[in-house]
Amino acid sequence: MLTNLRDICSIAEQNNMAIAAVNSASLEAVRAAIDVAEETGYPIIIQHAEAHEGVVPLKYIGPAVVDLAERSSAHICINLDHCEDLSYAQRALSLGFSGVMFDGSCLPYEENVEYSSRAAEMCAEYGAGLECELGSMGSREGGESDEGGTAEQAGAIYTNPDQAKDFVNATGLDILACSFGTVHGIYKGEPHLNFDVLTDIRDRVPHLPLVMHGGSGVSDSGYKKAIDAGIRKINYYTYGAKYAGEAVEKVIAGRQTEGGKHIVYWHDMTVAAYESFLNTFEHVVKVFANGARPVA
């Protein structure tokens, strides 16, 4: 069933768990996400990132994921990820998206408040939830780069807890993405997460669902500590896509003939990618559940 971003994170808040938010850059990932949600009984968020418009255009993937969510037995939110253009958000909302993540983190604070407030008004008109970001992870969303490094190397600016309280009150957002040590892309070392940032924000804005971006690549123990500190949504893309790519590489390597030529059928690669996404998503969904029982 299609579920509002605010409501699906409320489920996470009530159960001290986090919802996996995976990207819809391929049909294989979408299928795997829905199958995992239905089989495990845990909610899931399927996201289309504005940065992936060139990979799979919104006009094609948007109606498909909304329809699949509406027909599913699981709680599924369809969320627009890292939107920097309000007209793009309008397009997603008109297609039936139940959440929008407006990213004004690179704007001056006053402009971030202004545009995030406008995004809140738009989402309210459609009954959708709103996620905004405060602070900077340094590296940009996209998932293609392997230059993520550590947060310090990426030039991250941790979220200021006092400013976060003002930002939440000024914008009317539903959930807040925080910078506390994660980065987009592939980690070159062990991520150093500052859980005090999350604790301080929750002290100032009690029960506000917080969001971890750059979630793939964090250890299972790191996920648990973040969830216990208030994280209710974890964005997971880069490593899932990496593992699926590695699965496809194995298919290609295994198709070499005696003459040295490769005979590879496209459907064999899509099946390998789907099975990889299925295994990865099942693992992270159960880890993010943090011991909570299925809620479906």
**Which one-letter DSSP state was computed for residue 106?**
T
Q: Which of 214, 244, 237, 238 is nearest to 226 (CA)?
A: 214
User: Would you call 123 helix, strand, or coil by DSSP?
Assistant: helix
Taking the alpha carbons of 259, 264, 268, 269 in that order, is the dihedral positive or negative?
A: positive
Q: Within a 10 A sphere around the Cβ of 145, how many other Cβ atoms?
A: 15
142: Cβ–Cβ under 8 A, 6 or more apart, which residues?
49, 51, 52, 184, 185
3-state helix, strand, coil in the chain (%, to 5): 45, 15, 40
81 is an active site residue: yes
**Which one-letter DSSP state was computed for residue 105?**
T
Q: Rounded to whole angstroms, what are the CA distances from 188 to 46, 145, 146, 179, 184?
A: 27, 12, 8, 18, 11
**8 Å CB contact between 18 and 227:** yes
Distance (Å, whole) CA 140 – CA 134:
14
From 81, 103, 174, 200, the catalytic residue: 81
Residues tagged active-site: 81
